[in-house]
Every structure is written in C-alpha cells, then in structure tokens.
Copies of this chain bind each other. A is one copy, B any other.
Amino acid sequence: MNYTTIIGLLAGALTTFSFLPQFLRAWKTRSTKDISLVMYIIFSAGILMWLLYGILLGELPIIIANIVAFLFNLMIIYLKLKYK
C-alpha cells in the first residue's frame, strides 16, 4: 500500500465517519428540523457517482468510503423523515 492510498483511506474514514455524530445527535434529540433533506438526497446521489468513479479508477479508498458514507446518509435521511 503506497502513501497516496493511506492518505485516501484516512480521508475516507474522516468524511465517512463524520456523519456518525450527526446521526447520533438526531437519534438522541429526535429533532431534525434544521437538517436539510435536499442536502442529504443530493449528497447521496453524489456518493453513488463517487462510488462509480472509484470503481472506474480501481481506487479502493474511494470505493470503501463511499459505500459506508451512503449507508450513513440513508440513516440520516430516515431520521429526517421520521422526526421532521
């Protein structure tokens, strides 16, 4: 594994797991009024495009990060629709 891949994995870990505190906050407070649903829908569409991009480049950090980030985004969208 070269150092570009290591930086990519670290970048992916940060941007992916950043959604966890947002998910936990929404889950605990049961309030998602200030969260933009449009943001998460557009972001999820973008994640799927990044996933395709990662597959085309054959870059594992991009592929892994975007699969996990997509799941976190779906979880936040679920809470947004549940609590409004």
A80 to chain B, nearest CB (A): 9
A4-23 interface code vs B (CB 8 A; 1 in, 0 out): 10011011111111111110
- Count of residues in A whose CB is under 8 Å from the partner chain: 43
Verify if A35 is at the interface (C-beta below 8 Å from B).
yes
Chain B residues in 8 Å Cβ range of A11: 46-47, 49-50, 52-53
Tell me which residues across on chain B come within 8 A of A45, comparing CB atoms: 14
Given contacts A25-B36, A34-B35, contact A53 B7 (CB under 8 A): yes
- Apart from A11-B53, A22-B38, A29-B34: 4 A-B pairs, beta carbons within 8 A: A11-B46, A15-B42, A21-B36, A31-B33
* Residues of A participating in the B interface, judged by any CB pair closer than 8 Å: 3-4, 7-8, 10-22, 24-26, 29, 31-36, 38-40, 42-43, 45-47, 49-50, 52-53, 56-57, 59, 61
